[in-house]
Structure 1
Amino acid sequence: MSAGRLGESLRAARVKAGLTQEEVARRAGVSVRTLRHIERGQVRSPRAESLDRVARVVGYELVPAPGVRPGGGRTDPSSATLCEVRLLGPMTVLCADTPVPMPPKLRALLGLLALQADQVVRHDEIAEVLWPDEVPPGYANLLHTYAGRLRHIFGRGTGRRAGERRIGTVRGGYVFDSGDVRLDLRVFEERVARAAQTAASDPAAALDLYGRALRGRQGRLLQDVPQLWQHPAAVRVIQRHVDIAIDCADLALRLNRPGFAVEHLTPAAHEEPLHESLQARMMLALAGSGRRAAALHLFADLRTRLRRELGVEPSDEMWRARYTVLTMDTSEPPLPPRRPGIAAPAPRASQAPQALPASSRHPRQGPSGRTGSRSPRGGPVPAEVSRGSDDGARVRDDGPSHGRSAVAPEPVRGIAHPAQLPPMVTPFTGRELQLRALDELMDLRGADGAGVGIGVVHGPAEIGKTALAVRWAHRRRGEFPDGQLYADLRGSTGRPVPVLTVLVRALRSLGVRDEWLPDTVEEASVLLRSLVAGRRFLMLLDDVAHPEQVRALLPGTPGNLVLATSRSPLMDLVTREGATPVPVGPLAPAESYALLEAHLGVERTAAEPDATAELAALCGHLPLALRTAAARFAARPPMSVRAAVAELSGAGAAVPRPCFPHPCFPPPGTRPQAVADGADDRRRTGRGPADTGADSAAAG
């Protein structure tokens, strides 16, 4: 290449990289004047070292002929870069553009040194790779011989000293000096670094750089040196390439280029078939390219392998990708999550999947991509929207959809905004302490809504737990704009509602079609968490019997709150999930008096304050008993409060005082007569003791 054409190419590369002449000169260690002359083609024979540094800074690849300067003229053989080491695929060593054959032990040694270029690799580490079964005695002499052979190879055409410099000896090990060797791993990292720097200002150029970096791979890392495949350095490189493939795919999807994403995900996905973050991106890219059936078959195949080989279900990210594929508008490519460091143009409203926001890539344990713990609340959980089938038979792959939906019907009609809270009990008095405790539960979630709040309102039967929870929920429902869900679990009846039934009802409320409702608790729980992910829901679970009823319904993402009522404090939820217990006892005497006053009228209670206080005590200061007694006597205006007390006292078993745990609270096993009469009335009308949920709210 002539000096003029080379200068023009370097200038174009500098402008594309967004660098000034001053910045390039400073980074390359040359003067601005020299750089200006090079770009103008006024330097007929520039120094190879300076030219190479400039090219690296601006991201331009120099491919000189052996022994020839890029700018023209001959070079000093000792200073020319005549050797190249390729690890991304079959291991290849080129010296003066000529492949150099090497025996297996020598290939393994060079591969290990090149994987950790410019770092000391100790003798014992090398010995474990070369002789995994048994290290021979005197292995250090063998290593010395192998190192000498490598020096001879790297000294070809450049002299013995160059070979000794490239394979250096240090105390207890060897080091591969890659300074003047073209190493494909370093070229890959340089291109990736330029892509990351360019992403904010020019995403399209960054995507091209990612593509060039990934296209440099010729196959699996050290494809013909299997003894290095599990070495920690090789595992790190493999994981690095997987991460870059994911970055490339995310950027490609944001730029509406799903085909580009498929191209560059395919090699990594083939080599890492169990890497779930990688496979999730492949599903989105396939679907965005009009190959929805292929995406679903990929999911089914991965699920089968995970079950067979690891005994686990797919991770959260895979379920989310499957849900997105099923519900996306295939006329637009899917939009992956935005992650720091990658800029993208603002998406159109139709591009983003409406049901589920995708999450960042999950933490992985090694190249397989398996995530860590699978706790019920361990982060956002994506959708399992089928009945557990492994096939994609419902979907037909006819190529690009051209705007047609490939799935009929869609599993979700559209996320609803349920408002299921029962009506508030009126009048309502007292409970200021408990209401403040629940307000503090909201505060624990943080000003930014970070965290899932769980409250347990607990206390004896008929104490007013539901009325309290419902009132507080109505007060704060504006902070949950996506909806409020209510479920009566009937835990105190001895016949609690099955958890799956509660889950199915909640899913229907959120718009899931009947044909897509799961038939197991685990799958339904996963789907529920996915539907509320990234949203703000309040769930009121009434009359809970045991913690598992609540645990299956817990959201997995911040911003949501679950409020449960129970006769038990549900300590397992408190200890494991960090739930906040809110105990509820009898009303204070003044609160009981105020409740009777609200029901009977101020004139009647003010005329007989002592009798009113005695009536409250006879009712044990229980809200339900107070309401029942007040309702009975409010309908009989001529009757005085004193007469009502006399009638109530003589109607049945006396209520002893003082009692535990409150001076006016009945002992275990007894209820105030007014409560017993109210229960008898319910049984006579066909509503037996099971009706303690939403109806209890109306009763107090």
Structure 2
Amino acid sequence: MVASDGSSGRQAGRWFGILGPVEVVMDGRPVELPSHRPRVLLAALLLRPNRTIPVGQLIDLLWRDDELPSRPRSALQVYVSRLRAALGDVDRRLISTDGTGYCIHLDVEQLDLTEFRRLVEQAETESSAEIRAALLAEACEVWRGEPLADLDTQALTRNGVPRLLEERLHAVELHLEAQMELGQSAAVIPRLLELVGRHPTREHLWAMLMRAQHAVGRPADAFATYSDVSRRLADLLGAGPGPELRELHQALLAVTEPGSTVIPQQLPIGLRAFTGRTAELRNLDEMLHDDRRSGVVLLIGPAGIGKTALAVQWARRIADRFPDGVLYVDLKGFAPSAEPAEPADVLNQFLVALGLSPDQLAVGDQATLFRSVLADRSVLVVLDNARSADQVRPLLATGPNCLTLVTSRSELVSLVAAEQARPVRLDLLTPADARQLLAARVGSDRLSQDAAAIDELITRCAGLPLALTLVAAQLELRPTWSLDKVVSSLRDAPLDALTCDDSEDPRTIFSWSYRHFQPNAARMFRVLRVPAAGGAPAVSDPTTITRGRVGIELSATPAGRRSTHGYG
């Protein structure tokens, strides 16, 4: 049977929560905890309930080396005493010590973590999918947000939080599996799409998505998903799919009707909260109906301006106009550690996605074969992050019912001249669009808490979508942070404030472009840095020194102002 409501632990005696901000309830009322370090101490004990944690480990969690008091054991005892007083532990039965460390003694229902684990363990022993699904839904509802969300201590979150997040994701996977067993595959597909976007290297999630798509009669989507995960794993890990995905792919091929057409749908997962770019989207839509339509559209803009996001958004809007599918590739024109993609390799991937066999690929010139295959098809081809026109040219879809969408930091002048590509240049976001982007990510209520801080935050991000997105991520990950705290970090060290744990931060991304500049352009990039707060460099006649190749590489905005966002 499904367990009774776990909230009863909050109504009588003490109840503790760490699957979200640290919370304590006594007899149905929240307890106001002491200052920061006693809260960290409590969280450390709650992460390992009913186990003694050595004094040395607790000291390491409470103080950095440069903060260590002269008598750390005595200071730790003071914090334990404060914690006992706040929790009404007068007889020291809740928090005990054996002289070597401290232990908090709790029943399962007194801590959200142990209640969550109990429900998951119970679900894993159930044979009934219906009961498993109910237990796991209850387990997932125990979570109130990011674990220990209100504690700004790297030592504790680095050691404890990843394990908790892994347990949560495992429970979510089990819950979705149970729902699929109950015939609810259509209902779980949106959730799986969200999860693979957040965990692109977790192959079991991709396998679940493929099985769900196939179960609802969408085999083409399942094969497109396999193509997508194969590309992502190659990009992120330099490896192909593992045994689970490979075996599932072969199994689905075996049960797919012979001769059925696989329509590629290779677009990456788009932004859930895409905002702004209204004028650019309208311009792109108009190009579809323009008599001058050339079959090639070129999105131009500097690093972090949002070219890929706009390309994917627009491609999804118009995908139904191309019934024979959508092809997508990241050409890695400015990748930090990888060479730009070779057109021959991309052609091979595209032709396989379009259903050609290895024997067919071995005959003749692949570029010619690609054009021949698309001659009587209606396909949208998205070539993202192109380095040069020469890299793009063999990949253009030249069929009369096809369209090629290219994004690049370079202007690709010869592509505009020879192939009549229609250029669309992206500018920095307006303050109104920047505010809309942040509101879509973190909520209007939070932005309204400090109007002056949000105005300065938007100004310091300089209208750069990448900077705004990273700031929004910081705010989402730290719900207790004030807007003023984020603004202060941007004032002191903007690049450090916007650094994340992968390659998607301004310092890294701008370095990719800088590496590919010609020497004169690289020099001008350093000279012409525009501060994020605005203003122009003290150059007597900037137009004279940004003509020609240098000017092209630095990319003028539509208003003619040269900008490197202040993050160069």
TM-score exceeds 0.5: no
**TM-score, normalising length: structure 1:** 0.34
Bigger Rg over Cα: 1
Name the one with the larger helix percent: 2
